Amino acid sequence: MTGKAATKAAKLRRKRGRPALPATDREPNGQPSRRKAAMEPRRALKLAETEMEVRSTAVQRRVRHDNIVAFRDRSGRMVTAEEQALDPRRGYALGLMLLDGTITKDQHDAGIRYAEEQSLYLGLAGLPFPSVRAQNLFAVRGASGEESDAQAHRAGRAREVAKAARNKLLAVGNIDTGRKVEHAVREVCLLDNIQARTWPAHMILLLKQGLNKIAVSS
């Protein structure tokens, strides 16, 4: 295209103004279509529906896996299997053992505290987490945005607390018993071993001894 022709083409484009919208992007009255804007709430609704379907599937899977059945509570209210499946305590070993009636609430709370203390120490010290639950516990209580000196001090304090908790467990009974108690508590509280629900009676006893020791020491 010659320079003269190019100039004429440019002038022609300027006279035409902005390119016309396709017919599909206009309302019958000629105004710009609002369909795209109208689609956003629909997309959000569809996304919400998909999330609800995924959640419902997960709940039903948990109901089947844990053999959860509906029951009436002391007030006579029917507690559905789905409602029970949504209980956050069903997401970790210690909570499941509480729901099973294997441990008491005080023992459960002591185990949670032990897991939080150990996870905090591991996270601040930059050590690997032994389980996803331990990592999640640190994410809740971990430090962020602190100066290096402050974080170092906090890490030192966390190490002392974690070590003291382990020593309390190791002090239960004789040396052999103490090691077994510490192992049982670590398996359930920190490693989140779901299989602990099926432990034999003597292992459950060791776990309870450890949790009781932590509970009375707090």
Residue 70 has what pLDDT?
A: 81
Q: Which residues of 5-33 are buried (b: 16+ CB within 10 A; e: fewer)?
A: eeeeeeeeeeeeeeeeeeeeeeeeeeeee
How many residues appear in the chain? 218
Would you list the domain boundaries of the chain? 23-81, 89-217
Low-confidence ranges of the chain (pLDDT < 50): 21
Q: How far apart are CA 178 and CA 169, in angstroms?
A: 6
Q: How far apart are CA 71 and CA 81, in angstroms?
A: 8
pTM of the predicted structure, to 2 decimals: 0.66
Q: Could you give the residue ranges of the DSSP H alpha helices within 66-173?
A: 81-85, 93-100, 105-125, 132-141, 148-170
Residue 40 has what pLDDT?
A: 66
Write the CA distances from 145 to 52, 142, 149, 150, integer angstroms: 35, 10, 12, 10
Residue 54 has what pLDDT?
A: 66
| Residues 6 or more apart in contact with residue 212 via CB below 8 angstroms | 107, 110
Residue 103 has what pLDDT?
A: 97
Residue 209 has what pLDDT?
A: 97
pLDDT in tens, 131-189: 998 888 888 766 555 667 787 888 899 999 999 999 999 999 999 999 999 999 999 99
